[in-house]
Amino acid sequence: MDTANKETILTESIIRDGATLVSINKQTINFTCKCGKNHTKQKSAICKTSGAFCKDCTDRNTQIKRIKAKIVLNANLLAQQAT
């Protein structure tokens, strides 16, 4: 992946996640999360893993995804029992 494409993905991630860019270093980015907290993260983590969220928002998003996965799993189990 070329540098221009990486920067495009980084910019799209920041916009998608509602963050505000503060500064960019060689490997890290400083930003303000949508909740208002300032945070620093590796560029690769923003693009590939957790997005432009602070630690608290990342933890909250993880919990939400786990709960949604459990709901889907339980719904599938109930559907199997009904048949």
Contact (CB, 8 A) for 22 and 36: no
- Tell me the pLDDT of the chain averaged across its residues: 91
Contact (CB, 8 A) for 42 and 27: yes
Task: Tell me the average pLDDT across 57-83.
Answer: 92
For 47-69, the pLDDT digits (tens) are 888 899 999 999 999 999 999 99
Count the domains in the chain: 1
Q: Which pTM value belongs to this model?
A: 0.77
Top pLDDT among 73 and 50 is at 73
Domain residues for 60? 3-82
pLDDT for position 2? 67
User: Three-state SS across the chain?
Assistant: CCHHHHHHHHHHHHHHHCCEEEEECCCEEEEECCCCCEEEEEHHHHHHCCCCCCHHHHHHHHHHHHHHHHHHHHHHHHHHHHC
